Chains A and B, each alone.
Chain A
Amino acid sequence: MSRVGVFVCHCGENIAGTVDVAAVAQAALAMPGVVAALDYKYMCSDPGQTMLKKLIADERLDGVVVAACSPRMHEPTFRRTTLESGLNPFLCEMANLREHCSWVHDKGPATTAKAIDLVRLQVEKVKRNRALAPIRVPITKKALVLGGGIAGIQAALDIANAGNPVLLVERSPSIGGHMSQLSETFPTLDCSQCILTPRMVEVARHPQITLLTYAELEKLEGFIGNFRATIRRKARKIDESLCNGCGVCQQKCPVKKIPDAFNEGLANRSAIYVPFAQAVPNKPVIDVASCTFFKTSKCKACEKLCPTQAIRFDQEDKIEVHEVGALVLATGYRTMPVANFPEYGYGQLTDVIDGMKFERLASASGPTGGAIKRPSDGKAPQHVVFIACAGSRDRAKGVPYCSKICCMYTAKHAMLYRHKVHGGKATVFYMDVRAAGKSYDEFVRRAIEVDGVSYIRGRVSRVYEEDGQLVVKGVDTLLGGEPVEIRADMVVLATAVEAQDDAEKLAQTLHVSYDPYHFFAEAHPKLRPVETNTAGIFLAGACQAPRDIPETVAQASGAAAKVCGLFSQPELTREPVVAVVDRQAPPLFSSCTGCLLCKDACPYQAISEEAIKNRAGEVIKTVAQVNPGLCQGCGTCVALCRTKAIDLQGFSNQQLFAELMCI
């Protein structure tokens, strides 16, 4: 027989002003199963809570209904009070007499009648509540950071500095990412590599960080706190323990004409190479597709000349499995290729380049030593046109979103050009100037007012080549749509920021949601920007959306904080509002028929198959099984189940139907 106590709060005048609280308490006492009821001015106050605890003890209550404000407000408060008095907190429910009743209706019998009904609903529900215990899940306190750009580097350092071991996996031969390709960064014009390389070295030296470069994640199994990551360490063909980074192999390699991806094709590299001078680790890699030995079995110059005999042509890829507790995704971005733009030459005009290529021209450690030169003839361009929004904000032929960083880097490029080519003219064709960060607008104004960059508001319809120059046909909308034709020597396109071309595949491997542009999806755009809907996998940097370096670093630290928060507990404790599949005695075992519709419906992949076996090990029945560590308690599976074999603790079928029965 139930022993429910009802506590009606006045909430000062908030409830009592409109609802006859005494009448509600009296009516509650008459409800079947209710053995005690009272009303009081402020239930959430100290005396109120003491009253609650006393009544629970005195009347040996096995269910509590607090009729007060919204459960979204004080459910945790009253559940804690209930717990303190020795009763299971999940045997406490709240009836919303304030937000849903007293605050929205006029004083009168109808309002009080509604209040009584609301109390009755919760009384019926709580009579079917079951004592629930929080779920405990063990945690492997090791993090996997996927991606070695500035986002991954920052996250790895923050997690490692908090005392947790980190595995940093980067697919290219060196960490550094796109930031290592940049010349200077806005708005300070800090040399990018100068601020990045110390962090790269710190990562390499950190006792808590294991750095795996030239490696990729192949498979991820498990769940939060208990992941198993299968990683392929690609063969560098070098014994890293012997290599001392002397560089002789690169000097002597006869294959020297491979377009260098790091330098965006502006320079060449050899078949055995280190991506750039400040690479971490500073160990080369053999590009098997271009190496003479791998193609024709001849040469082997590097092997002969290596002073430490570190070359290993027969080295194979290695597969490693690592146990980790959390993942940080920091896989970065790419930019839309120039070949995408028919009106700018289909990528065939040599002097029409993108922002990344311009960075390599401007970089002091780049192929031109920082001098701005036309890729076609090596001469310094006298007039450079910069086209903003190339591919962004374009529903017809590009992507509809804004790529965020281009207005700033275009201003930066124009400024750098003017600093390096004093007599040169820089013109920027823009739609809007988006310079919303700290010191950002001042930076753009400096480009215009101090460095004399011309800003024309209008789009460019066509760029074509004539007599070795580029004819740029645009329009000046602020002058009433007047056509503008410029004969430029170089055109720099601020191409759209896009997700990596294999982002979709990675997201599917990890069961992480992604948006139509293949950027990874955050759990909530406002309040949970560094988490994904997959518990234990966090986001940092441009893989989630286009962003600049300060934001990336901030977000990476945010993700790291989440990981450290996760690791700071001995175990993971979760609310037990989870689904449970019914189990019964043999021969039925479960009313679940094994149709597994629930498995596909679950947004969190929390449902798996369970094979029920007999003593001989033969499978008698396959049923669904819910992982309480993953289940978030939405109940979609419950509504789907045809046999009602799966139920949601806290919002069970019984509870809900009981509520319905008393309307």
Chain B
Amino acid sequence: MAEPFEPKLTAFVCNWCTYAGADLTGTSRIKYQANVRVIRLPCTGRIDFMMVLKAFARGSDGVIISGCHPNDCHYTSGNYHARRRWMVFRDLIDFVGIDLARVTFSWISAAEGAKWASLVNETTDRVRALGPYQEIGKLAAAGIE
């Protein structure tokens, strides 16, 4: 029997809040599961949601998107744009057949180190229970571009 399934998570985080919050998790030595790979962005407003789809296409089993709380964006309104896009994109993901439970959208501030740890742990556990994400891979294998 192969090794037990360990999910691969990709996290898109904003530099000013969530990345800093994750740094705080480190400084506070709060442990969490090692399945996540963080992609640093200046702001969640920078996220083109096609990147999220690409993450799934490339083998991620789950995606985390996290930025500054509404009203606190370092660039004033980037997180509002992200939130609006998420509202639309969420329905699209669902329509396309990706289980919404694989995607987590959250606000984590630079002071919320513990929240980052618990978010990663929860998401990892949840995605592990869902199993590997295979849909796009299956389509590709069947020769569908």
Contacts and interface: CB of A to CB of B under 8 A. Distances in A.
Interface string B46-71: 11110100110011100000000000
Interface stretch (A264-272, A358-366, A556-564, A627-635): A627-635
Nearest to B20: A72
Interface stretch (B74-82, B97-105, B134-142): B74-82
Give chain A's interface residue range (CB within 8 Å of chain B).
Answer: 35 or more
Contact of B45 (A73, A104, A577, A636): A636
Contact of B25 (A99, A117, A603, A656): A99
A280 to B, nearest CB: 38
A603 B30 CA distance: 35
Nearest to B32: A104
B53 to A, nearest CB: 10
B42 A104 contact: no
Nearest to A14: B26
A656 B27 contact: no
B31 interface: yes
A657 B22 contact: no
A98 B22 CA distance: 11
Given A104-B30, A657-B51, A96 B45 contact: no
Given A72-B20, A648-B46, A118 B78 contact: no
Contacts of A603: 75-78
Contact of B26 (A98, A106, A121, A653): A98
Chain B: interface size category: 35 or more
A332 to B, nearest CB: 25
Contacts of B41: 635, 651, 656
Interface in A61-93: 70-73
Contacts of B43: 634-636
Nearest to B47: A639
27 contacts: A70-B19, A71-B40, A96-B23, A98-B26, A99-B26, A100-B23, A103-B25, A103-B27, A104-B29, A106-B31, A110-B6, A121-B39, A513-B76, A634-B45, A634-B78, A635-B46, A635-B78, A636-B75, A638-B46, A639-B82, A651-B41, A651-B42, A656-B51, A660-B51, A660-B58, A661-B54, A663-B8
B54 A657 contact: yes
A111 interface: yes
A290 interface: no
Interface SS of A by simple majority: helix
Given A101-B26, A117-B37, A121-B37, 10 more contacts: A96-B23, A99-B22, A104-B29, A104-B34, A533-B76, A632-B75, A634-B43, A634-B46, A653-B48, A663-B55
Contacts of B81: 601, 636, 639-640
B85 interface: yes
A653 B76 CA distance: 22
B51 to A, nearest CB: 6
Interface of B: 6, 8, 10, 15, 19-20, 22-27, 29-34, 37-43, 45-49, 51, 54-55, 58-60, 73-78, 81-82, 85, 117
A173 B93 CA distance: 62
A300 interface: no
B58 A634 contact: no
A663 B9 CA distance: 9
A638 B26 CA distance: 31
Contacts of A110: 6, 34
A105 interface: yes
B22 A100 contact: yes
B39 A638 contact: no
Q: Could you say which of A99, A106, A633, A639 has the most chain B C-beta atoms within 10 Å of its C-beta?
A: A639
Contacts of A533: 76
Given A118-B37, A121-B37, A640-B81, A633 B42 contact: yes
A101 B35 CA distance: 10
Contacts of B34: 101, 104-105, 110-111, 113-114
A663 B23 contact: no
Nearest to B38: A100
Contacts of B25: 99, 103-104
A661 B55 CA distance: 8
Contacts of A106: 31
B74 A634 contact: yes
B42 A635 contact: yes
A105 B31 contact: yes
B23 to A, nearest CB: 4
Can you list the 7 inter-chain pairs with the closest CB atoms, starting with the nearest? Answer: A99-B26, A635-B46, A634-B75, A636-B45, A103-B26, A603-B76, A634-B43
A128 to B, nearest CB: 14
A659 interface: yes
Contacts of A524: 74
A114 B77 contact: no
B60 to A, nearest CB: 6
A657 B46 CA distance: 13
A653 B54 CA distance: 12
A104 B38 contact: no
A59 B55 CA distance: 34
Contacts of A634: 42-43, 45-46, 73-75, 78
A202 B94 CA distance: 68
A639 B23 contact: no
A73 B20 CA distance: 10
Residue of B30, B32, B46, B77 ringed by the most chain A CB atoms within 10 A: B46
Contacts of A70: 19, 23, 26
Contacts of B58: 660-661, 663
Contact of B38 (A72, A96, A640): A96
A349 B23 CA distance: 60
B89 to A, nearest CB: 11
A637 to B, nearest CB: 8
Contacts of A650: 42
A250 B28 CA distance: 71
Given A104-B26, A634-B74, A634-B78, A648 B42 contact: yes
Interface string A612-640: 00000000000000000000111110111
Contacts of B40: 71
A436 B45 CA distance: 40
Contacts of A660: 10, 39, 51, 54-55, 58
Contacts of A96: 23, 38
A118 B43 CA distance: 20
A663 B51 contact: no
Given A118-B37, A660-B51, A663-B58, A99 B23 contact: yes
